[in-house]
Structure 1
Amino acid sequence: MAIFDKILLSRCFLGDNVRYNSEILALRSPLLKIWQQENRIIPICPEVAGGLSVPREPAEQQPNSGQIITISGSNVSKAFNEGANKALLLCQQHSIRFAVLKESSPSCGSTLIYDGSFSNTKIPGQGVTSVLLTQAGIRVFSENNLDELAKLLDKN
């Protein structure tokens, strides 16, 4: 039986009810189906793993401080950091080198995040989980570049 690289995956992509607004956001991708059949997927929602509820207030990373603040002004950075650490621990436990995380999320964004103004404006940046995983040498992808990950997996 072949041994495949495991992939850390945002639980929302599996259709799990973990998003801040309870919206179901299953990722419809043939690649995801293949990776599931190959038993590669290790799912996590860092925000839920960090203790946040579903639903929860929208939260955005503040550009000057890096703190994660909800729309009503609550600082939820501790929960976001705890979730990021749990994601890293899962990667270490399963020797994960690749992650597919939800773009634009204050946890999971890999190239874009919201600008902290709650105006639906995106800026270049990474969420707290993506930063931590990247610093640990884990390649982070989003739903927008699955093909790039698939090419890397084919080479291994």
Structure 2
Amino acid sequence: MKKLPLVISACLAGRCCRYDGSSALLSCLNALDEVFELIALCPEQLGGLPTPRSCAELVNRRVLTKEGLDLTEPFVEGSRKALALARAQGCSIALLMERSPSCGSTCVYDGTFSGTLIEGEGVFANLLREQGFTLYTPKTIDALMKANTVSYGSEHR
């Protein structure tokens, strides 16, 4: 049976691609894999950034490290590449890591490197939303499952 394609932040799928070289593996990954064709993407790596790498936050619409290095272009380029891969797989929904300057879809760090969160979107999340994707977070997985198993058909579970 064909599964509905779902873009997922690669770190949520267990890949050690976060800035510090860790992952954020979801405990429900197997349940998601039963329903969806998981398309694990890391826009930061697709943009050519190494892992591990310096921590970065959004500052005045730019992606900067604490040391002031501007990483905006690799973030934008990686987001474009990730979008192209998502489209090639027929995706229109995504499950993204919150707080990330790439994937944060409801909140991101405020740019002070103090751990303070604000409402906002990362570069990749913003691009996906502009392109009509429906975005989910680890906190909204129940809504993702409900919306997409009902609309896609329970026979695909």
TM-score relative to the length of structure 2: 0.92
* Paired residues for 1:69-88 under 5 Å: 69-88=64-83
The one of 63, 76, 81 aligned to 1:68: 63
Identity rate of aligned residues, in percent?
35
Give the C-alpha shift of residue 37 in structure 1.
3.7
Offset from partner CA, 1:76-120 (integer Å, 9 cap, x none): 000100111011101210110110110000000010000001010
Which residue matches 1:21? Answer: 20
Where structure 2 has 5 or more consecutive residues not aligned to the other structure, the ranges are 153-157
Give the C-alpha shift of residue 26 in structure 1.
1.1
- Are 2:39 and 1:42 aligned? yes
Give the C-alpha shift of residue 34 in structure 1.
2.7
**Closer/same/farther in 2, CA of residues 152 and 142 from structure 1, 3 Å limit:** same
The residue type paired with residue 93 of structure 1 is A
* CA distance in structure 2 between the partners assigned to 1:38 and 1:112 by the alignment: 27
* CA distance in structure 2 between the partners assigned to 1:6 and 1:35 by the alignment: 11
Which residue matches 1:55? Answer: 52
* CA distance in structure 1 between the partners assigned to 2:111 and 2:32 by the alignment: 34
TM-score relative to the length of structure 1: 0.92
The residue type paired with residue 123 of structure 2 is V
* CA distance in structure 2 between the partners assigned to 1:139 and 1:5 by the alignment: 13
Shift >6 Å, 4+ stretches = none
* CA distance in structure 1 between the partners assigned to 2:114 and 2:35 by the alignment: 40
Give the C-alpha shift of residue 39 in structure 1.
5.6
Over the aligned positions, Cα root-mean-square deviation in angstroms equals 1.2
Q: What secondary structure, in the 3-state scheme, does the structure 1 residue paired with 2:23 have? A: coil
The one of 129, 147, 151 aligned to 2:124: 129
* CA distance in structure 1 between the partners assigned to 2:57 and 2:13 by the alignment: 23
